[in-house]
Amino acid sequence: MTAAPTTTATNTAAPALMAQPTIAAARPRPPKSGWGDIGKGLAFLSPWLVGFTVFTIVPIALSGYFSLCDYSLLDPPMPIGLDNYRALMKDQWFWNSMKVTAEYAILALPAGMLVSLGLALLLNRPIRGRAIYRTAIFLPTLVPVAATAMIWLWLFNTKLGLINYVLGKIGIPPVPWLTSPSVALPAMVFMSLWGVGYTVVIYLAGLQDVPAELYEAAELDGATGWRRLWHVTLPMISPVIFFNLIIAIIGVFRVFEIPLLMTNGGPARATQFIAMYVYDNAFLYVRMGYASAMAWIQLILVLILTGIAFWTSSRWVHYQGK
């Protein structure tokens, strides 16, 4: 066994050995100052920080400024105070798009949450071919939006579409899915369920984290399947439900591509969502200041709704260990 070098030892015959660090030197030293590490951390973060500042923070701040200006992109922004916000309050098509978005949210948000949770509960059971079902449910989320819109245009076609064909087989007359103002929005809600795969995966991850002993204890107490779901599963996955709710609230305010490609907001603006009206004002009518004001109202609404969700969360979201 080689003797460990000491701090006092001198050995001219073995300079390499002398160069070895001493035990005392090898001992980690406390940092002289925390700022050095913070600096290194910031340096590593800098690509993201620069990107986030340049492409997110600055545009958000600028849009706040533009919302107080008359700005067409092609002219310099001219400050006009709160005129854009005042004009918005009197713009019937702004209120129409808010109404469309709200109606969609009221229908699509719970429908999406319930369907995805239901599917996750089913796929969490030990059924044959579970992996295939999981893959099949997730696959649609990988289809590009434009392709999805094209597929659904065909599915919704009254004469050639699969949906009306199936409905016809069970004696239901053809439904004019996208051309009737009263049906077009529900059709969009129905279509939104096509993309639940992503949410299902998150629910599945949450469901697999529920400790098995809780179900065993509930069973010993004589809890039925429904009671186990209500008293064990749902409280245990409530943080996941909460996360999905927040994402869904943000999502409904961003609905844009699908109605743009499928109905362009029609018929008679029955599917003109707020994001579409912002886009039209910004680029089609070159009213960037007005569109920015709308975008800020949209942002404030999202903040209020997510704030309410957070505020109520202490009553229904249960975190393990708390």
Partner 1 sequence: MLLLGGTLLAFGPRPHGKIPPGRVVVSYWEKWSGQEADPMRAVIEDFNATVGKEKNIFVEYVPMATVQYKTLAATAAGVPPDVAGLWPDQVVQYSLRNAAMPLDELAREYHIKPEDYKKVFWDMCRYQGRLYALPTTPAVIVLNYNKKFFYETADKLRAAGLDPTRAPQSIAEFDKYAQALDVYAPGTNRLIRAGYFTMEPTWYDTVQNIWFGGHSWDERTQKYNLLTPANIATFEWIASYSRRMGKQNLVDFQSGLGAFSSPTNPFLAGTVVMEQQGQWMGRLIDIYKPDMAQVIVPFGVEPFLPRVLRPFNYDWGIAAFPSNVPGVKDASYDVTDVLMIPRGARHPREAFEFMAFTQRQDQMEKLCGMSGKNSPLMATSDEYVYSNSNPYIDIYDRLAASPNARANDQTPIYNEALSLIEVAVQQVYLMQQTPIEALTEAQREIDKRLASQDELAAARAAWSSR
Binding site for partner 1 (CB under 8 A): 46-47, 70, 72-75, 78, 80, 87, 90, 92-93, 153, 156-160, 174-181, 266-269, 280, 283-286
Provide, rounded to whole angstroms, the least separation between the CB of residue 88 and partner 1.
12
Looking at beta carbons only, is 280 or 305 nearer to partner 1? 280
Looking at beta carbons only, is 80 or 234 nearer to partner 1? 80
Q: Are 290 and 281 in contact (CB under 8 A)?
A: yes
Question: Could you give the residue ranges of the DSSP H alpha helices within 23-91?
Answer: 23-26, 34-52, 58-66, 83-89
Provide, rounded to whole angstroms, the least separation between the CB of residue 75 and partner 1.
5
CA distances 99 to 86, 102, 197, 321, Å, are: 18, 5, 27, 41
Provide, rounded to whole angstroms, the least separation between the CB of residue 321 and partner 1.
40
Provide, rounded to whole angstroms, the least separation between the CB of residue 38 and partner 1.
18
CA distances 290 to 72, 136, 220, 272, 278, Å, are: 9, 43, 62, 17, 8
Query: Which of 80, 72, 59, 97 has its CA nearest to residue 283?
Result: 72
Looking at beta carbons only, is 64 or 176 nearer to partner 1? 176
Count of other CB atoms within 10 angstroms of residue 220: 8
Count of other CB atoms within 10 angstroms of residue 141: 15
Provide, rounded to whole angstroms, the least separation between the CB of residue 73 and partner 1.
4
Looking at beta carbons only, is 104 or 280 nearer to partner 1? 280
Q: Which amino acid is at 65?
A: Y
Q: In whole angstroms, give the CA distance from residue 206 to residue 211.
A: 11
Provide, rounded to whole angstroms, the least separation between the CB of residue 224 and partner 1.
46
Residues 6 or more apart from 51 whose CB is under 8 A from it? Answer: none
Looking at beta carbons only, is 178 or 305 nearer to partner 1? 178
Query: Which of 137, 168, 155 has its CA nearest to residue 258?
Result: 155
Q: Which amino acid is at 230?
A: W
Looking at beta carbons only, is 34 or 171 nearer to partner 1? 171
